[in-house]
């Protein structure tokens, strides 16, 4: 999977820089073309000559090479690469990446990169677990960067703990899986619903919820990045996406969302219903703004169309239907019941009892349940990472060999 791939390897000032030599040799052996960018301090740990010999390419440290008069263009590098891997990534460089500081070639290349960026931290355990470092790593994750988690073990300080850069052999396997995933949804047409629905009371008021649409948009971007053609049917949200493989359809009400979903689902291989659709809508909608009176205002509500149930009835054996369940009590039994009643193949459960999960935020904590009874429980993660977990579950269970 690495043959012919263009990989930038960024090396920072860390004792783990010695691993970059093995990492480069393995990448080249797999058929990748590797260009190495080093920070000035990285040269104190491993020589440019070593890296140039192993990568079979001149090493870039400075913007300008006085020996031959060449400029090292961070813009050209960013366009050239299929992947930018920073390994090892020191706490200092991680902090600069998270805050947009661009005071060397490695960092300006990072800000110019159009490709996936992976970061392999390497530092002492106290530096790694410091709140500032953890915050910076979360910021990088929110940008869509992939963190290759460090290992626990003996560190250069002599202490034992988490902070060792992952071994080169494991990083290469990680990269292989990444490029395999880039094409596992190729040729698949996917319908995704996202965001809230607004059910009008009058021209200025509505019944709605706190959904931001972030989870559905993250799913759309993840699947589009893995080769799918995505139709994203989205309620009123502030966030947008510009991915060329995502066709965005704006809707407002549950009935509008249902109309589009029912129309488009027959032509799709997969539907993921992540929208927070209102369960009820006003029976009567006023044409003019309702004025405040002394008496109580009574609203009569009626059920909205059940999109999951509608698609579940339509679903063919060749199609996959994934739902979401946000629960406050009896979470797993309620989610399982919903999956069975609505003919879903898989359901993603999150609970408002879990801190950091639910509407509005950038994180979620989910349990993925399958119709056959299998259950996968995940820790609190960013919604970008949760989208990867959901896509991985779909690909592993339903797409392999299809």
- 141 alpha carbon, distance to own chain's centre: 8
Return the DSSP state at 253: S
| Three-class DSSP category at 302 | strand
d(Cα 362, Cα 357) in Å, to the nearest integer?
9
What's the pLDDT score for residue 69? 59
Instruction: Give the DSSP H/E element, type plus range, for residue 184.
Output: none
pLDDT single digits (tens) 157-176: 787 888 889 999 999 999 99
- Residue found by looking up tokens 């813009």 in the block: 75
d(Cα 72, Cα 69) in Å, to the nearest integer?
10
What's the pLDDT score for residue 401? 45
d(Cα 149, Cα 103) in Å, to the nearest integer?
25
Break the chain into its structural domains and give their ranges.
6-181, 189-399
Q: Residues comprising the binding site for CTP?
A: 279, 289, 324, 338, 342
d(Cα 345, Cα 17) in Å, to the nearest integer?
46
Q: Residues comprising the binding site?
A: 279, 289, 324, 338, 342
* Torsion angle defined by CA atoms of residues 92, 97, 98 and 102, in that order, rounded to the nearest 10 degrees: 100
- Residue found by looking up tokens 């972030």 in the block: 214
Instruction: Find, among 90, 94, 85, 86, the residue nearest to 139 by Cα.
Output: 94
pTM of the predicted model, to two decimals? 0.69
Beta bridge pairs of residue 136: none
Helix 383-394 to helix 131-142 angle, to the nearest 10 degrees? 60
CB distance 239 to 383 below 8 Å: no
Instruction: Return the CATH architecture of domain 6-181.
Output: 3-Layer(aba) Sandwich (3.40)
Instruction: Tell me the residue length of the chain.
Output: 402
What's the pLDDT score for residue 67? 61
Burial 156-194 (b: 16+ CB within 10 A, else e): eeeeebbbbbbebeebbebbeebbebeebbeebebbbbb
Contacts 24+ apart (CB under 8 A), 65-73: 72/105
Number of Cβ within a 10 Å radius of residue 228: 24
What's the pLDDT score for residue 402? 45
* Torsion angle defined by CA atoms of residues 282, 286, 290 and 295, in that order, rounded to the nearest 10 degrees: -60
d(Cα 350, Cα 104) in Å, to the nearest integer?
42
d(Cα 162, Cα 168) in Å, to the nearest integer?
17
* Torsion angle defined by CA atoms of residues 77, 187, 219 and 328, in that order, rounded to the nearest 10 degrees: -160
* Residues with a known catalytic role: 209
What's the pLDDT score for residue 400? 52
The Cα angle at residue 199 between residues 321 and 319, in degrees rounded to 5:
10
The two three-digit tokens of residue 104, written as one number? 């060397």
Instruction: Find, among 350, 349, 261, 270, the residue nearest to 308 by Cα.
Output: 261
CB distance 355 to 111 below 8 Å: no
- Class of the domain covering 189-399: alpha beta
Number of Cβ within a 10 Å radius of residue 132: 12
Burial 264-290 (b: 16+ CB within 10 A, else e): bbeebbbbbbbbbbbeebbeeeeeeee
The two three-digit tokens of residue 109, written as one number? 């290349």
Beta bridge pairs of residue 162: 152
6-181 against 189-399: fold identical: yes
d(Cα 81, Cα 213) in Å, to the nearest integer?
31
From the number of C-beta atoms within 10 Å of its C-beta (0-12, 13-18, 19+), residue 227 rates as middle
What's the pLDDT score for residue 92? 97
Which residues of the chain register pLDDT less than 50? Answer: 401-402
Backbone φ/ψ region at 60: left (φ over 0), alpha (ψ -120 to 50), beta? beta
d(Cα 16, Cα 146) in Å, to the nearest integer?
19
């Amino acid at each position: 999977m690495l043959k012919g791939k263009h990989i930038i390897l960024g090396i920072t000032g860390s004792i783990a820089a010695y691993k970059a030599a093995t990492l480069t040799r393995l990448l080249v052996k797999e058929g990748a073309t590797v260009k190495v960018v080093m920070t000035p301090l990285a040269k104190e740990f491993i020589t440019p000559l070593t890296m140039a010999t192993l990568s079979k390419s001149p090493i870039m440290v400075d913007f300008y090479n006085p020996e031959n008069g060449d400029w090292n263009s961070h813009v050209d590098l960013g366009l050239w690469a299929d992947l930018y891997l920073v390994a090892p990534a020191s706490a200092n460089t991680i902090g600069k990446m998270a805050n947009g500081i661009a005071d060397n070639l490695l960092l300006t290349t990072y800000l110019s990169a159009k490709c996936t960026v992976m970061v392999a931290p390497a530092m002492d355990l106290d530096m790694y677990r410091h709140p500032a470092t953890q915050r910076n790593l979360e910021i990088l994750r929110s940008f869509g960067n992939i963190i290759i988690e460090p290992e626990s073990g003996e560190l250069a300080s002599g202490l034992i703990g988490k902070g060792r850069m992952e071994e080169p052999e494991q990083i290469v396997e990680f990269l292989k899986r990444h490029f395999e995933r880039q094409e596992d949804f190729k040729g698949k047409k996917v319908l995704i619903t996202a965001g809230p629905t607004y059910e009008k009371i009058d021209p200025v008021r509505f019944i709605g919820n706190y959904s931001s649409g972030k989870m559905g948009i993250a799913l759309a971007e993840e699947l589009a990045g893995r080769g799918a053609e995505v139709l994203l049917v989205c309620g009123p949200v502030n966030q947008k996406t510009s991915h060329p493989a995502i066709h965005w359809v704006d809707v407002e009400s549950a009935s509008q969302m249902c109309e589009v979903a029912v129309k488009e689902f027959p032509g799709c291989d997969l539907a993921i219903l992540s929208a927070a659709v209102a369960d009820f809508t006003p029976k009567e909608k006023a044409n003019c703004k309702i004025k405040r009176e002394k008496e109580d205002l009574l609203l009569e509500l009626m059920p909205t169309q059940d999109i999951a149930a509608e698609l579940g009835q339509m679903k063919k054996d060749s199609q996959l239907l994934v739902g979401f369940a946000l629960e406050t009590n009896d979470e797993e039994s309620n989610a399982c019941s919903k999956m069975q009643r609505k003919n879903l193949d898989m359901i993603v459960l999150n609970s408002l009892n879990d801190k950091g999960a639910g509407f509005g935020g950038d994180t979620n904590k989910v349990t993925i349940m399958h119709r056959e009874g299998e259950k996968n429980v995940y820790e609190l993660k960013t919604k970008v990472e949760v989208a990867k977990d959901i896509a991985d579950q779909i690909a592993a269970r339903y797409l392999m060999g299809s």
